[in-house]
Structure 1
Amino acid sequence: MSSSDDDMPIRKGRMNGVKSQDHIPNNVDRALDREMPSNSDINPGVSVRMGPVEEEMEVDEPHSGAHTNGKRKARASLSNGKSYKEASASEEEDDIPLSKRRKTSKPKPASDSELSDDKPMARKTHAKKPPKVTAAQIGESSDSDTPLTAKLAKEKKQIEKAAEKTAKAIRAEEKNDDDAPLVKKKKPAASAKKASNGVKDESDDDVPLSRKAPPAKKAKGKAEPSAPAKKGKGKAVKAETEQDEDAEAEEEEYRWWEDPSKGDGTKKWTTLQHSGVVFPPPYEPLPKHVKMRYNGVPVSLHPDAEEVAGFYGSMLNSTHNVENPTFNKNFFGDFKEILDKTGHAKDKDGKTVKITSFEKCDFKPIFEYYDAQREAKKALPAAEKKGIKAAKDEAEAPYMYCMWDGRKQKVGNFRVEPPGLFRGRGEHPKTGKVKKRVPPEQITINIGKEATVPQPPEGHRWKEVKHDQEGTWLAMWQENINGAYKYVMLAANSDIKGQSDYKKFEKARELKKHIDRIRKDYNKDLRSGVMADRQRATAVYLIDRFALRAGNEKGEDEADTVGCCSLKFEHVTLKPPNTVIFDFLGKDSIRFYNEFEVDPQVFKNLKIFKKEPKKDGDEIFDRLTTATLNKHLSSYMPGLTAKVFRTYNASFTMSQLLQEMHSKGTIPEKVKDYNDANRKVAILCNHKRTVAAGHAGQIEKMQEKINGIRYQQWRMRQMMIDLDPKIKKKKGAEFFERPEDLDDEWVKQHQESLVTQEREKIRKKFEKENEKRVADSEKEMKSKELEERMEVADELEKKFKKENKTGKVEAEGKGITIEKLEANIEKLTERIEAQKLQLEDKDNNKEVALGTSKINYIDPRLTVVFSKKFNVPIERFFSKTLREKFDWAIKSVDENWKF
């Protein structure tokens, strides 16, 4: 056994499976080398496709254990629809899939004897081919002769070369700094001074956190020397005073990111005071006339059982769950346990009715009751809704903030989860199980020693009160489904959460100094004779190149989710010459299906790791665990784990793209440029998603909005004819024709929707004014006033009917002229172009997880750099919540900052 195996924990179930041999004989390597075809067109490093497979292909024999029934639906190819910018491309070429255009030589089929080491092989399967990534998805022209996968692989190689060059430059610079005499190392005082807005000097960008000195703090009570104010300049003095006040306000703000030493120790706080948690309201029994039916007979249940029946009954409209056999089985199993404890049900005569069959249970009366309640809540007047919300906010106000080291910090999830049915994500095996109500007796409070401990609800007590200064949690409890611990933490925009994000991205920045050595070493170890070393190198290759998660240990009662280190025989299919197909349940039980072109050596290694007598259920990386992998990675850099690679690769790639970018044009065009770069990062780093269920509807709405603007333009052109009939001859009849796709039927439907929208607008305004009158203790307006206001919509309806009948559109508006109409038409053209950009952008993004890349993996400071460099408001990239979360990033860099 190799040394790397000695301290490796045995994974659960490992001893029952087949384990790889300690060393790989040279003759095995040589035999596989002869099998591997030489192909100069191989471009490893980019996902070929994602989703279920659809065509005949030569692959490993399918395995019964593979997850082929994942919830992810097959998606139509994105290349089927052209964007408005692709209209000039050849239709014949667009109809040909990208993979069909590739000019790669077909590998010569291997003989049966050559394939004897990896039986069974070469069975044809009929599966659904997933969509290719189109050129439009990354904002490039689709008419290039170069296959997209080859283009992206080439770009990825260039980025990796840049990464190698960067790493060597950083180490060389640090070596020069270390070798330089102390007198030369000392920088002039002026250069050490930071800008007041927290922007770092560019020369400081690549210095590790541990070597950066915190900024000097201004001594209290000492004013900095300044030029004397000139007398007699009242306005100037006032302006200076306002600036001083603004500067003082800025000074009081806690800019923790300028002090890298903050948060490095284990002690997270000195004083902590908070109000505890908010519990869900107690269960309110159903009215006596609302009963579950069993075998057609209404039955009464104990309140505990009735509450659980209500969990299921209230969600009958969620077909995704109630039509899931696993969900129903788990629910009914837990329901029967509660029924056994509470004595089952009673009929109208008080006789016991034992509930044993799920199929005989009818929850419809419960659903109808809760559905009616939901509708009644929706129908409440806006003023009443506001009142309810205000009362709730007032009751929860004490829990929303805590005092952390004397600073007011927002608390995140201070509400204890209400009881209900566990849903999970993907194909979770415990979906449908009952989430029990959490009492105070299960909750541990974390608070300062000198602080006042919050009072639990009357008649209850806390499980425990701790003073854990190393913890950043305020309260915790263990839920009953997976036995996981739930924590009440600070909000995303708090200092502590911000520091956590900051450290994560700084850790990724630190990795750029070591990435070349790591890649050089794992490429060397891909050919190691020691099985453990070769498995580790192959795993790091997959994690680095394809953003696979490392994967953690799983118990028998947990979801069968896996990552790279825990991949099993059936999760990996090998397709010659160098394509690897992954199919498994990943994080949150979401199916991961992807095809990757890999380095020939990696393909060969996976064949060795799958070599007989291994079969379904046996682990591929049987001499590797997440713990040993991370231990190895930490030898390059303290704290380096497999997940840092995802952050590093996304951020470094985006950084390289930004340096080469020259964004011009309107704000929407610049936003699209950013999204194109983000999309490229998501594709290169394999951050993908399924098409959202409502995507087609959203695209249709956006197209309808564009069509509505086009209709406006047409009406304005008709108004021009009304003002000057001769203009039709001057500009040509074609200019005034209605677009063919906006036919009579579409026009009629659109006009009806415009009238409906106008009526809704009038009604809402009327209700809002009435609410204001009530709030101001004034008399409400009568319904007659609303009827009079609706006359505007009635007039609009009459006008449309007249236009349809006569075929003429009368000019409207005060002082309307041909020139004004032409100017308005031009403005509408600009709106159409902006809307088309947004539509194209949204459609291109449907299979790429831009949000995941932008929020979790791309350093937010890079988005800020783009915003400042190209003068695009940061609001176009970050919502209010994200602006609060990334406040440190927005305030700490300028357009010259580099990752």
Structure 2
Amino acid sequence: MSSSEDDVPLVRANGRANPTPPSAKSNGQSSTNGELDPGVSVRFGAVQNEDVKMEDADEDAHGVSKRKSRASIDQKKSYAEPDSSDEDDQPLSKRRRTSVKHEDPETDDDVPLALNGRKLPKASETAIGESSDSDMPIERKLSASCKERHQAGRSQKTSQWCQKEQADDKSSVKKMKADTGALKKGRGKVKAESAEAEDEEDEYRWWDDPAKGDGTKKWTTLEHNGVVFPPPYEPLPKNVKLKYDGVPVTLHPDAEEVAGFFGSMLNSTHNVENPVFQKNFFRDFKDIIKKTGGAKDSQGNKVEIKEFTKCDFKTIFEFYDAQREEKRNLPAAEKKALKAKRDEDEAIYQYCMWDGRKQKVGNFRVEPPSLFRGRGEHPKTGHVKTRVQPEQITINVGKEATVPPPPPGHNWKEVKHDQEGTWLAMWQENINGNYKYVMLAANSDVKGQSDFKKFEKARELKEYIDKIRKDYQKNLKNDLMVERQKATAVYLIDQFALRAGNEKGEDEAETVGCCSLKYENISLKPPCTVVFDFLGKDSIRFYDEVQVDPQVFKNLKIFKKAPKKNGDEVFDRLTTSALNKHLQNYMPGLTAKVFRTYNASFTMSNLLQGMKATGTIIEKVKAYNDANRKVAILCNHKRTVTAGHANAMEKMSERIKGLRYQKWRLKMQMLDLEPNLKKKKGAAFFERDEDLDKEWIKEHQAFLVEEQTQKIKKKFEKDNEKRVADGEKEMKVSELNERLEVVGEMKKKFEKENKSGKVEAEGRGPTVEKLEAQITKLDQRVDTMSVQAQDKEDNKEVALGTSKINYIDPRLTVVFSKKFNVPIERFFSKALREKFEWAIKSVDEDWEF
């Protein structure tokens, strides 16, 4: 094709020809003439004063409805996906709109839990055991030998749940209890299985079991004990009140509770000083005050609360802050006792019986009422999250199982027996209309299979990626506008890890993805530079300045051609559902989301293959984090620099400085033992670092004295607690004073050193050799802390956890751990080690993504 072929008319979707687009010639400049190659990013180059946050925890999703910029649609038309692809050739205004399918509420990255305001989704569509992008049975991935071995093993397991207690089969029930640790129905409480059964479960390697994971029926028998509700509100003391215009006011407990939501978080300035947060809170607060009878002063006179600026929550904050401080200062033994009591009370909710196997439940606690915070610049931040009542909760159990009883005086909204769902309970929250689900824990078989299938789906994309890339490169010049837009969108998703994007309602955050990019979200800088600037998922700002293929640059220029203006969509002939339907022609279950997982894992895999991690454990961990950071940047996993970051870095710097001070003291002690060492080693060896001036030394010495004092006091308290626990008498205060004499001696020693400029040798039998050995150890500690400080500074604006947990195949982290002899505990917490047990136990250092 000639160089001028890009100027030929594009055929509109309705068959008519577009006007000839303006010439997109590069004026003789190639993409490599003084520019970066296509696909190279200079992300974050122009971001200033960002106030966004990306957390490692579960990511909240928002509802989906029509995009603002779409043309209005006749509600009588069908919303079903068209049977043929002919409709793709129609202008968007003439095409039928398609709804976005619900996907896995736990693992899906791009699709919210529920369509705001629409009917309850089918449980099968939100099942974590079979996510929407996992159509491939697990057995394709597993060997025949594993299949035979584990089928034989499973035939020996007869664990079942006793569903009925009938007099005529008591003997069989007892036998089942003895053989399999079955749980007695009784009052609906789940009792612990026998140790033998638990040991057997520990050996169950579901990832090697080809019989699990296919089909739509997720369970045969299911029994659990429901959910844990938050405690009821405890009214504030009479002397703790909201002040309005300087006057203490009395509120109904419901309104007082909401005032407490705001008052208790005055230290969270990021939220309470946000005008949107204030506006939404005050609107809800006034409504609740009105519904509960209004506010009154001490004389019983009605007080009209009209202006937020006249509200004084300081007294409430001081009360709750004192409670928090009191809780922090509780003795360790009391904290341990409280935790043990809470665990005992919640023990029956922590496990369920799923097809006869004991499985841990994840989030069995109902969220307490509070103020909604949201992420990024969410328009609903500050609204009141109301208390969830049993009448709002739907329970999912087996037909023969005992339904967990609701709190006295209440009823469940509904009881279901949905064997296609993997949720145990669900309810709809009032802020965004999203559905909250009680699921199995991350280390459960079902949840683990979902993760396994997700990463296997990403690995499978390796077999198709070359064909996909070849086709979209070809279709970048397609005569049909809709095909050219598809190819351009797939290029951007593949090369720059953009999310596909979904339609938003008017009351939701104005976030976009690739398919919903607006005119103003893209800036073009000839010859081939594209600047993306938009709010992505969770209102996290995406800013990236990238070099693209010359044809992609020309296409984007055409897609932005007049009469388009701000607010208009760049890909006006493309929807997320149409794009995913197109991708599934290449590979079953392929969606735009799979590209992010694939590219993140593939990037990490390539980085690990070329890595030569050496040195200490800390240095190896930093090498891993450096690779993880590149993936996080690729996926736009950013976070706001925390308020405590500067303080934390200062503390680390002071600790390093303190170690250097200790080194200098040790050197001075060497001179105390052998004054002639100054000639042998040279005066420079014994010189004090310039930043360790006399003023700093005095401040640091005072810090060391106070630190030692606190250590002695805490040790004294701990020893007393142990003595009380053992039935012995507490030590007297005189014992503490005797211990503190060491601090007095330390203080005197520092004062003497400051006057004389000399440091006397310390310790038992001090020698120059011993002191040199101590200096060597301090050098190592300084190096280690310096590496840690640099790592912390490098990660201040990047959220490593999200990519490590959700996008990088955990088996790659295991490979790094085994290849470079770094304990897996350095990368995965205890909870994550349980979640990724399948990854830890299934690969060795030679495994490849």
**TM value normalised by structure 2:** 0.80
**Equivalent position SS for 1:409:** strand
1:327 deviates by: 1.0
1:561 maps to 511
Amino acid at match of 2:499: R
Which one of 542, 550, 553 corresponds to residue 603 of structure 1? 553
Percent identical pairs in the alignment equals 72
Hey, what does 1:665 align to over in structure 2?
A: 615
CA contact (8 A) 1:208 1:510 kept: no
CA drift at 1:222: 13
* Alignment counterpart, residue 627 of structure 2, candidates 671, 677, 697: 677
Quote the residue 1:860 is aligned against: 810
Moved more, 662-671 or 273-282: 662-671
> Pairwise mapping of residues 714-725 of structure 1 onto structure 2 (< 5 A)?
714-725=664-675
CA drift at 1:70: 5.5
Alpha-carbon distance change, 360 to 660 in structure 1, aligned in 2, over 3 angstroms:
closer
Alignment of 1:248-647 (within 5 A): 253-647=203-597
One-letter amino acid of the counterpart of residue 609, structure 2: Q
3-state SS in 2 of match to 1:847: coil
Q: 1:782 to 1:617 in 2, by over 3 A?
A: same
CA shift, 1:34, in A, is: 5.6
Letter of the structure 1 residue corresponding to residue 24 of structure 2: L
Aligned with residue 43 of structure 2, among 46, 49, 68 = 49
* Secondary structure, counterpart of 2:305 in structure 1: coil
Q: For 2:618 and 2:315, how far apart are their aligned partners in 1? A: 51
The SS at the match of 1:33 is: coil
CA displacement at 1:684 relative to structure 2: 5.0
Secondary structure of the structure 2 residue equivalent to 1:276: coil
2:183 alignment counterpart? none
Cα shift at 1:342: 1.9
The partner residue of 2:30 within 38, 60, 65 is: 38
Q: Rate the CA distance shift 1:819–1:390 in 2: closer, same or farther, 3 A.
A: same
1:574–1:603 CA contact under 8 A, matched in 2:
yes
Return the letter of the residue paired with 1:321: N
SS of 2:546 mapped into structure 1? strand
Q: Which residue of 2 aligns with 1:747?
A: 697
Residues 356 and 809 from structure 1, CA distance in 2 versus in 1: closer, same or farther, beyond 3 angstroms? same
Contact 2:26 2:527 in 1 (8 A): no
CA–CA distance in structure 2, aligned partners of residues 681 and 264 of structure 1:
32
Distance (Å, rounded) in 1 between the aligned partners of 2:676 and 2:15: 90
Alpha-carbon distance in structure 1 between the residues aligned to 2:306 and 2:631 = 54
CA deviations 1:52-93 (Å, max 9, x no partner) are 458xxxxxxxxxxxxxx86249xxxxxxxxxxxxxxxxxxxx
Structure 2 gaps of 5+ residues are: 1-10, 54-137, 157-194
Number of residue pairs matched? 713
1:547-586 CA deviation, whole Å, 9 max, x = no partner?
A: 1111111111222111111111121122222222222211
Counterpart residue type for residue 30 of structure 2:
S
Separation of aligned partners in 1, 2:201 and 2:253: 58
Q: Distance in 2 between matches of 1:523 and 1:269?
A: 45
Residue 148 (structure 2) aligns with: 216
Task: Mark the CA change 1:665 to 1:345 in structure 2 (over 3 Å): closer, same or farther.
Answer: closer
| Aligned mates of 1:438, 1:250 — CA distance in 2 | 38
Paired with 2:833 and 2:740, the residues of 1 have a C-alpha distance of 41
Counterpart pick for 2:839 among 889, 894, 898: 889
- 1: distance between equivalents of 2:619 and 2:264? 46
On the 8 A contact 1:25/1:529 being kept in 2, the answer is no
Q: Secondary structure at the match of 1:47?
A: coil
Equivalent residue for 2:754?
Answer: 804
Residue of 710, 729, 738 corresponding to 1:760: 710
Q: For residues 310 and 222 of structure 1, do their structure 2 counterparts lie closer, same or farther at Cα, with a shift above 3 Å needed?
A: closer
Query: How much does 1:780 deviate?
Result: 1.2
Q: How big is the shift at 1:816?
A: 1.9
Structure 1 counterpart SS, 2:542: strand
SS in 2 for 1:629: helix
Distance 1:21 1:574, change over 3 A: farther
The equivalent position to 2:740 in structure 1, one of 783, 786, 790, is: 790
Structure 1 residue 220: deviation in Å? 6.8
SS of the equivalent of 1:564 reads: coil
Q: Secondary structure at the match of 2:214?
A: coil
SS in 1 for 2:42: strand
Q: Are 2:31 and 2:38, in contact at CA under 8 Å, matched by a contact in 1?
A: no
CA distance, structure 2, for counterparts of residue 324 and residue 752 of structure 1: 40
Please report how far the alpha carbon of residue 530 of structure 1 lies from its aligned counterpart in structure 2 after TM superposition: 1.0
How many angstroms does 1:209 deviate by?
Answer: 2.4
Q: Using the alignment, how far apart are the partners of 2:371 and 2:202 within structure 1?
A: 47
1:377 CA drift (Å): 2.7
Tell me what 2:679 maps to.
Answer: 729
Other structure's SS at 1:264 match:
coil
Report Cα offsets for 1:128-178 as digits up to 9, x if no partner.
xxxxxxxxxxxxxxxxxxxxxxxxxxxxxxxxxxxxxxxxxxxxxxxxxxx
Deviation of 1:688 after TM superposition, in Å, equals 4.3
Query: Counterpart amino acid of 2:392?
Result: Q
For residues 20 and 326 of structure 1, what CA distance do their matches in structure 2 show?
A: 43
User: 2:97 aligns to what?
Assistant: none
- C-alpha displacement of 1:37: 4.1
**Shift, 1:722, TM fit:** 1.1
Contact 2:397 2:417 (8 Å CA) reproduced:
yes
Q: Distance in 1 between matches of 2:215 and 2:393?
A: 27
User: How has the CA–CA distance of structure 1 residues 30 and 583 changed in structure 2, closer, same or farther, with 3 Å as cutoff?
Assistant: closer
**Equivalent position SS for 2:149:** coil
Equivalent position SS for 1:441: helix
Task: Report the CA distance between 1:676 and its aligned residue.
Answer: 2.9
Q: Partner amino acid for 1:360?
A: K
Q: 1:362 to 1:847 in 2, by over 3 A?
A: closer
The answer to whether the aligner puts 1:813 opposite 2:768 as a matched pair is: no
Q: Name the CA distance, whole Å, in 2 between partners of 1:758 and 1:708.
A: 14
Give how far 1:271 is off. Answer: 1.8
**TM-superposed deviation, 1:210:** 7.7
1:220 and 1:887, CA in 2 relative to 1: closer, same or farther beyond 3 A? closer
Partner Cα separation in structure 2 for residue 701 and residue 23 of structure 1: 68
> In structure 2, do the counterparts of structure 1 residues 363 and 688 end up closer, same or farther at CA, with 3 Å as the change threshold?
closer
Distance 2:559 2:782 in 1: 56
Q: Which residue of structure 2 aligns with residue 656 of structure 1?
A: 606
CA distance in 2 between partners of 1:419 and 1:598 (Å):
48
Compared CA separation, residues 683 and 309, structure 1 to 2 (3 A): closer
Alignment partners' CA distance in 2, 1:397 and 1:510: 41
Q: Secondary structure at the match of 1:593?
A: strand
Cα separation, 2, equivalents of 1:364 and 1:798: 44
Q: Distance in 2 between matches of 1:24 and 1:610?
A: 19
Task: Give the AA of the match of 1:517.
Answer: K
Q: Deviations over 1:217-271 (max 9, x none)?
A: 2757999xxxxxxxxxxxxxxxxxxxxx99x968961101112441122111222
CA distance in 2, matches of 1:307, 1:849: 34
How many Å separate the matches in 2 of 1:674 and 1:443? Answer: 43
C-alpha contact (below 8 Å) 1:23/1:529 kept by paired residues: no
1:411 CA displacement: 1.4
Contact 1:290 1:369 in 2 (8 A): yes
Quote how far apart the aligned CAs of 1:746 are: 1.9
Aligned to 2:160: none
Question: Residue 139 of structure 2 contacts residue 210 of structure 2 at CA under 8 Å; is this kept in 1?
Answer: no
Q: Which residue of 1 aligns with 2:731?
A: 781
Relative distance call for 1:302 and 1:662 in structure 2 (3 A) is closer
SS of the residue corresponding to residue 49 of structure 1 reads: coil
